[in-house]
Amino acid sequence: MKMTFRWFGETDDNITLGQIRQIPGISGIVGALYDVPVGEVWPEEEIMALKKQVNDAGLSLEVIESVNVHEDIKLGRPTRDRYIENYRQCIRNLAAAGVKVICYNFMPVFDWVRTDLACPLSDGSCAMAYDNSLLKDMTPEELVNRVAQTSNGFKLPGWEPERLGALKNLLEQYQGVDEEQLFQNLKYFLDGILPVCEETGIKMAIHPDDPPWSLFGLPRIVTCGKNLERIVRMSDSPCNGLTLCSGSLGANRANDIPALIRHFGAMGRIPFAHVRNICFTGDRSYHESAHLSSDGSLDLYQIMKAYHDIGFDGYMRPDHGRAIWSEKARPGYGLYDRALGVTYLNGLWEALEKAGK
């Protein structure tokens, strides 16, 4: 298992590479170029510059999160071929820089969604939260405003203002796209890019929909074991993999995370693991919590044990943390609670390693 840490770049993160380097057990960062518009090719020189910066800090850059997929591909519009060609080139450029895994998602319009980015918890910390009863009464525009107002001034991943500016138009375009169509459009995309992945050795890792159900009537398909199975079977290529995100899939109580890890891990289809906890506050409502099992509703020991049992040798990262110790950071991505998360996950891993000997 290779433990990594997400970093948003020098100008867009309050955390430095030097700080990340000092977290015990971190081998590399999970990065991206954030200024390239969705759908365009990531320039090789910019990728190389990021790689150099990360390597100079004593860290590796082997995982990218995310190369986002243009809406025309998800919508299956005729213009998609141009964007798929760009994606293919992007894969080649990233492979040339030594990248091994690309995380992406196939969520229409919205990436991850929360109704509160700074929900106060009883210990005085804040965490992101999702309350389905609130979302039901919100319009998509209200959600976008709410997120923008509470994001501590940071541009959030997957919430590019330029794309969300065209919200009304985008939502209308999805009216003819149901789940089945979205599956077909994903298959078309994978058929277009996987040959380049095989040539270059890059593994694609689709991220689950977060939360894993339909929002505002938009289709969402990366939601449960059955759908994940359909996706991995769309192509037998080992490059057609998953980002197994415990917090996203875990928001649906019917998803048994350790069982999913064992199943897809045994197939060799989990190149990247996001590990975090959530605490249920209602049927489809929860707030995020510290990684520690007893702080939330998921059993992180069982999750790590499942990874250990399958001999997981892919990349892992702690996922969202709470805002603690007065840190002013991007929601979910502060230094302190994620660093505590890493240390806890590494502790579980060491115990599993030693108990297995």
Any idea what DSSP says for residue 110? -
By beta-carbon proximity to ligand DNO, the closer residue of 174 and 308 is: 174
Q: Using alpha carbons, select from 25, 126, 127, 125 the residue that is nearest to residue 342.
A: 25
Residue type present at position 288: E
**Alpha helix ranges (H) inside 57-101:** 71-75, 80-96
C-beta of 42 vs 104, nearer to ligand DNO: 104
Q: Supply the minimum distance, in Å, between the C-beta of residue 324 and ligand DNO.
A: 17
| DSSP secondary structure code for residue 203 in this structure | E
- Active-site residues, by number, are 207, 245, 274, 319-320, 333
Place of tokens 């389905």: 132
Report the distance separating Cα 72 and Cα 81, nearest Å.
9
For ligand DNO, the closer of residues 5 and 305 by Cβ is 5
Closest distance to ligand DNO from the beta carbon of 66 (Å): 3
CA angle 238, 241, 243 (to 5 degrees): 150
| C-alpha torsion sign, points 153, 340, 263, 198 | positive
Q: Give the shortest CB-61-to-ligand DNO separation in angstroms.
A: 16
Query: Which chain residues interact with ligand DNO by CB under 6 A?
Result: 65-66, 103-105, 111-112, 157-158, 207, 332
Name, in order, each residue with C-beta under 8 angstroms of 326's C-beta and a sequence gap of 6 or more. none
Q: Which is nearer to ligand DNO, 34 or 350 (CB)?
A: 34
In whole angstroms, the minimum distance from the beta carbon of 55 to ligand DNO comes to 23
Identify which of 247, 252, 320, 287 has the alpha carbon closest to the alpha carbon of residue 114.
287
